[in-house]
Amino acid sequence: MLTVALPKGELLKNSIRLLQSVGLDFSGFLDSGNRQLQILDASGQAKGLLVRAQDVPVYVEYGQAQLGMVGYDVLKEKRPQVAQMVDLQYGYCRMSVAVKADSTYKSPLDLPAHGRVASKYVNCAREYFQSLDLPVEIVPLYGSVELGPITGMSEAIVDIVSTGKTLRENGLVEIATLYESTARLIVHPLSYRLNMGNLQTLVEKLRAEV
């Protein structure tokens, strides 16, 4: 039986809607009274797993799911051994460098050498500043990274931005974009090659819907 890893949060509704368009119905996950983390598709053809977005590529990489939907930002940070098949073109956001609006920093190169940058995307942040040849200390934060500059713990943050509302409400502004992100369809490479659960046909159906 085919297993699909679905992300909790912003991408869930669109992911479920897309799967419904190819005959797989996991809408039970949208029921506020449902606490199940694993359900069968209405037709009994496939099983859905509801997991944190950061865990979607882990389940696919280790073969517990053959198919998954997840943001490119997660893939770029975690770098899992999965195959990216389709840009699903929803869940748009961008990875940005942000600072206090009243600071003198107008670009990342204005940041002081060996200054601090707070981020939950440690790998992406480190890679970006290395590409600028600017030595900074990456401070891992997994809650509200906006507090880094506000409290003075860091000069800047690297974080995902969608509308920018959270930054504005906390007196921060973007000064650079690392990359843009949308949801991606990923598969377990061996499962795809072996066409487990008719996976290749399903991927092509999903590609056609996008």
In the chain, domain spans: 2-90+182-209, 93-181
Tokens of 181: 């992100």
CATH class for the region spanning 2-90+182-209? alpha beta
Count other C-beta atoms under 10 Å from residue 152's C-beta.
Answer: 10
Predicted pLDDT at 140: 96
Predicted pLDDT at 136: 97
Predicted pLDDT at 11: 96
What does the buried/exposed string (b/e) look like for 83-100 if buried means 16 or more CB atoms within 10 Å of the residue's CB?
bebbebebbebbbbbbbb
The gap from C-alpha 177 to its chain's centroid, in whole angstroms, comes to 16
Predicted pLDDT at 42: 80
Predicted pLDDT at 200: 96
In the DSSP assignment, the letter for residue 8 is S
Fold exhibited by the domain 93-181 = D-Maltodextrin-Binding Protein; domain 2 (3.40.190)
State if pTM tops 0.85: yes
Residue 137 gets the label, from left (phi > 0), alpha (psi -120 to 50) or beta, of beta
Tens digits of pLDDT across the chain (210 residues): 899 999 999 999 999 999 999 999 999 999 888 888 999 988 788 999 999 999 999 999 999 999 999 999 999 999 999 999 999 999 999 999 999 999 999 999 999 999 999 999 999 999 999 999 999 999 999 989 999 999 999 999 999 999 999 999 999 999 999 999 999 999 999 999 999 989 999 999 999 999
Predicted pLDDT at 120: 95
How far is residue 85's CA from residue 67's CA, in Å, rounded to a whole number?
10
Predicted pLDDT at 182: 97
